[in-house]
Amino acid sequence: MITFVVQPSDGLNGTVRVPGDKSMSHRSIMLGALAEGVTQVKGFLNAEDAMSTLKAFRAMGVEISDPVDGNVTIHGVGKQGLKAPNAPLYLGNSGTSMRLLSGLLAGQNFDCILTGDESLSSRPMRRVTEPLALMGATIETQANGSAPLKITGSKRLKGIDYVLPMASAQVKSCLLLAGMYASGETKVTEPAPTRDHTERMLNGFGYPVQRSGRQATINSNGQLTASNIDVPSDISSAAFFLVGASIAKNSEVTLQHVGMNPTRTGVIDILKLMGASIEILNPREVGGEPVADLRVTSSELKGIVIPEALVPLAIDEFPVLFIAAACASGQTVLTGAEELRVKECDRIQVMAEGLQTLNVDATVTEDGMIINGGQMSGGEVQSHDDHRIAMAFSMAGLRASSAITVQNCANVNTSFPEFCDLATSLGLQLTSTEA
């Protein structure tokens, strides 16, 4: 049991580089393992979720070095080179690992079981198992559609033309990875843009993916060739400091080498609509991904109606965006965000309950929340073992009238093990205690 206690702070100031992008770290291991040759990765996120993916591929016979200062070496085994693991693959809390691996493993010639912790085992998996079944895969779930997933190998997959019922990069990526092992073409059409790291990285490894509008197409007639990957800083981790420096007085923070993939920058767009002062400095491209430094200073935020088109582009950042809304003048309205209810927890309900504990006027709706900004009190809130909620309420301490205690923060290690050190180096008055 890890508890965060945050005292009101004077502000955040300094320059930091947050850890590597989690989405890209997962995919670098997956595609590097299936490539021909040796892949070198820089900036790999050495956190529990990404390590779950790394350990899973080691269990399937891939030689992968331990991360050292973000550097990982992967000795690829080729597209057909994975071996049956000796035991179920335990993926901890990582929904990305489970959903993407279910597609990749559906086309292998061996059986496999995917398991996870209590939180992951309660999350919906039919969104991937049902379209995979249309491709010919055999995957058994629990009665409610959750993990463990029992995947039967040696099944001949066939390509499908699938329209996603809900915008989801994980489902899209799952089907594209399965499409590498399917006869014919696999086409995935999304209702709104989502992060496109899988398509970009596949092309970077020399595996052709055609993109036309919101449709991605892949077939089995390619192979992956080892490539060097430089993983930029994770904008989802940077988001906590973008909000923190915006809401706290006397703040100026520069975040270095942040990934600026246009399918991920919704958090910046939303904060700017709210009046945040965010400068994009030294934009550049590294390994096919746009990167920049971000300078953010204190600003007076105002409530807005969040455009639904931006919701899929900021889906992981809403816990801390709710904190921004609580500190803004006026009303903020979020709609079209049903996906938040099936993350590590129901992030709409849990964030609303925490905000209400801090005397914020927050009303839950079916697909979002209505927040009337105002003064936050201190208090004790529950993270429900959700890393993003724990870090979001830590930032709330910058504007609360007294201390905020956040319970059950151990899962911060799934995405951002350095959070406490970086936050305190910038001036957040945070202490972490373990019981």
**pLDDT category of residue 288 using cuts at 50, 70 and 90:** confident
Q: Given this model, what pLDDT does residue 154 score?
A: 80
Sheet containing 186-189: order of strands: 161-163, 186-189, 215-218, 210-212
Mean pLDDT of the chain: 96
Q: Given this model, what pLDDT does residue 293 score?
A: 98
- pLDDT tens digit sequence for 369-414: 999 999 999 999 999 999 999 999 999 999 999 999 999 999 999 9
Encoded tokens for 97: 């690992």
Q: Given this model, what pLDDT does residue 342 score?
A: 84
Q: What is the mean pLDDT of residues 81-96?
A: 97
Same structural domain, 146 and 271:
no
Q: Given this model, what pLDDT does residue 169 score?
A: 94
Alpha-carbon distances, residue 200 vs 23, 151, 221 (angstroms): 12, 27, 17
What is the CATH classification number for the domain harbouring 11?
A: 3.65.10.10
> Of these residues, 21, 117, 196, 316, which one is catalytic?
316
The last residue of one of the domains, among 230, 249, 275, is: 230
- pLDDT tens digit sequence for 62-79: 999 999 999 999 999 999
Q: Given this model, what pLDDT does residue 364 score?
A: 97
Same structural domain, 193 and 113:
yes
| Number of domains present in the structure of the chain | 2
Name the percent of the chain lying above pLDDT 70: 100
pTM check: above 0.85: yes
Q: What is the mean pLDDT of residues 149-159?
A: 93
**pLDDT category of residue 10 using cuts at 50, 70 and 90:** confident
**pLDDT category of residue 286 using cuts at 50, 70 and 90:** confident
End-to-end CA distance of the chain: 5
Q: What is the mean pLDDT of residues 309-317?
A: 95
Q: Does the pLDDT at position 435 exceed 90?
A: no
Cis peptide before 148 (omega within 30 of 0): yes
Q: Name the residue range of residue 356's domain.
A: 2-20+232-434
**Is 316 a known active-site residue?**
yes
Q: What is the mean pLDDT of residues 139-154?
A: 95
Same structural domain, 12 and 30:
no
**pLDDT category of residue 327 using cuts at 50, 70 and 90:** very high
Same structural domain, 280 and 136:
no
Same structural domain, 249 and 193:
no
